[in-house]
Amino acid sequence: MAASTPAPLVLVTGDEDLLVGRAVREVIETARRHDPEVEIVDRAAGELTDADLVDLGSTAMFGGGRVVIVRGVQDLGEELRDALLSYLGRPLDDVVLVLVHSGGVKNRKLADAMKDAGARVVPAAKITKARDRHDFVVAEVRRLGGRISDGAVRVLLDAVGGDLRELAAVCDQLVADTDGGMLDEAAVGRFHRGRAEASGFAVADAIIGGDLPQALTLLRQALEGGTAAVLVSSAVAGGLRDLAKVGSAGPGSKWDLARALGMPDWKVEKAQRAVRAWSDPGLGLALRAAATADAGVKGASVDAGYALEKLLREVATARSLPRDREHRGGRR
């Protein structure tokens, strides 16, 4: 719950757009509850000027509070950075200063100075680990007033992927549709089935499983439904990389491999089943085709749809190459 009065110094550290946006919005909303007429000054690092910093350190002419937001402070030049450091030594009572720092080493001195000055620190780092995405979904559903089972989280992540904005939007819709009740696998499946069946992940599952006609049909549905071509190519490439990682890791339980590879155990199990049908040369060819298609949908190809159809046909051909007799990932 937001505080009744805003903290005078707030440091948002990280580069996950959704989390950064939420953190900044919360500060603004808290300030407006405290003072509906509060002035909001929002600047990117490249937009900040000397005049802004003069205003920052000056009492407002007509009174009233201000929220001054500076985004991307890791990119500030030395003079502007030093001016902010100077301000931290004499912050004004009627100003809330919000600095957004990527969390890297550039201009770390400024982030450290905010912490030393007692700033409220809001983490907003990108979520890259499977377990953290799982926890994000659980927390998001709880924040919205609902509950979700572990199985439903897995289904949701498999269908949507790791984009936090999309995950948050789907969580919001699911909780609204179920009136705050328990979300199970069936509930997620009912909501997401039509969309998931035409998603990049469904295209990837179909082609990696060897069903070219189904993959082509799903591709057309996905593109007609507005799915970006790059999301389809990324899903296919990601699925193939999962096969390569699991296959090269050798035999083992899904739990052991999940810990070793940093993958969810359900995804390891899925890759273990699929990789049995693939040869090493075939998987190599498919990965190269995916790299070419990725460049194609990002501009190297005039027709992104054609580039994706070509990718699916090449992956199907690669999968049909004879397997060797190696034991990889539990396959023979």
> Which residues contact residue 28 at a Cβ distance below 8 angstroms, ignoring those fewer than 6 apart?
40, 67
pLDDT for 327 equals 41
Taking the C-alpha atoms of residue 92 and residue 144, their distance in angstroms, rounded to an integer, is 35
212-224 vs 200-208: helix axis angle to the nearest 10? 170
Average pLDDT over residues 226-253: 86
> Which residues contact residue 7 at a Cβ distance below 8 angstroms, ignoring those fewer than 6 apart?
27, 96, 119, 120
Percent of the chain with pLDDT over 90: 39
Question: 312, 203 in Cβ contact below 8 A?
Answer: yes
Give 165-190 pLDDT, tens digit per residue.
878 888 888 888 777 678 988 888 77
Return the exposure string of 165-203: e unless at least 16 CB atoms fall within 10 Å of the residue's CB, then b: eebbebbeebbeebeeeebbbebbeebbeeebbbbbbbb
Consecutive H or E run containing 110: helix 108-116
What does the mean pLDDT of the chain come to? 85
Q: In this model, does residue 286 exceed pLDDT 90?
A: yes
Percent of the chain with pLDDT over 70: 91
3-state SS assignment for residue 78:
helix
Domains identified in the chain and CATH numbers: 9-123 (3.40.50.300), 130-192 (1.10.8.60), 200-319 (1.20.272.10)
pLDDT for 194 equals 52
Q: Which position has the higher pLDDT, 31 or 228?
A: 31
Please state the pTM of the whole predicted model.
0.59
Average pLDDT over residues 240-258: 85
pLDDT for 98 equals 96
3-state SS assignment for residue 157:
helix
pLDDT for 266 equals 76
Taking the C-alpha atoms of residue 97 and residue 117, their distance in angstroms, rounded to an integer, is 12
DSSP string, 186-249: HHHHHHHHHHHHTSHHHHHHHHHTT-HHHHHHHHHHHHHTT--HHHHHHHHHHHHHHHHHHHHH
